[in-house]
């Protein structure tokens, strides 16, 4: 009958040696070896550790906007007018038709009658289109 072999002790190779493979015998003594217990020295000699491993240790910094404003597409009246003049828009009943899912701004002049359907527009758009014989209506969502 064979006997099971006992596992060799963890430190048996170091019997008779003072430091057990850890350098000078002072090296592993107390918590001074690791620079203090726990989070000691985070503001001083462990600051680089805190910056990399615990970035929010001193509290979160900065501001995060709760509702970010959505970017709205914008078209200017002078751009729409140029498209109408260069026959890029469809003409029905004497008016050029333009559909746009965004905001129409009243920049520039209107020289041809336009029929625009858009999500929203600035105040002066209706006035400028009315003077040129055009109209603007809400685009169905």
Model pTM above 0.85: no
Q: For every one of its 141 residues, what pLDDT tens digit does the chain have, with 9 covering 90 and above?
A: 678 888 888 888 888 988 888 888 888 888 888 889 999 999 999 999 999 999 899 888 888 888 877 888 999 999 999 999 999 999 998 899 999 999 999 999 999 999 999 999 999 999 999 999 999 999 886
- The pLDDT of residue 20 is 85
- The pLDDT of residue 47 is 92
φ and ψ of 124, to 5 deg: -75, -10
Neighbours of 35 (CB within 10 A): 13
8 A C-beta contact, residue 102 and residue 71: no
Q: Which whole-number Å values give the CA distances from 49 to 31, 35, 42, 73, 140, in the listed order?
A: 17, 12, 8, 46, 57
74-138: which CATH number, 3.40.50.1970, 3.20.20.70, 3.30.70.1450, 3.100.10.10?
A: 3.100.10.10
- The pLDDT of residue 121 is 94
8 A C-beta contact, residue 132 and residue 110: yes
Instruction: Please give the Cα distance from 1 to 85 (Å, whole number).
Output: 106
- The pLDDT of residue 34 is 86
**Spans of all domains in the chain:** 74-138
Judging by beta carbons within 10 Å of its beta carbon (0-12, 13-18, 19+), is residue 16 exposed, middle or buried?
A: exposed
């Amino acid at each position: 009958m064979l006997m099971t072999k006992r596992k060799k002790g963890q430190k048996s190779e170091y019997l008779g040696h003072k430091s057990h493979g850890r350098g000078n015998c002072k090296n592993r003594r107390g918590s001074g070896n690791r620079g203090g217990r726990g989070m000691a020295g985070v503001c001083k000699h462990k600051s680089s550790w805190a910056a990399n491993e615990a970035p929010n240790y001193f509290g979160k910094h900065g501001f995060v906007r709760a509702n970010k404003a959505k970017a709205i597409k914008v078209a200017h009246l002078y751009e729409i007018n140029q498209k109408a003049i260069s026959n890029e828009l469809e003409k029905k009943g004497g008016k050029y038709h333009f559909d746009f899912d965004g905001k129409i701004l009243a920049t520039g002049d209107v020289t041809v009658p336009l029929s625009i359907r858009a999500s929203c527009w600035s105040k002066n758009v209706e006035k400028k289109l009315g003077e040129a014989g055009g109209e603007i209506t809400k685009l169905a969502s």
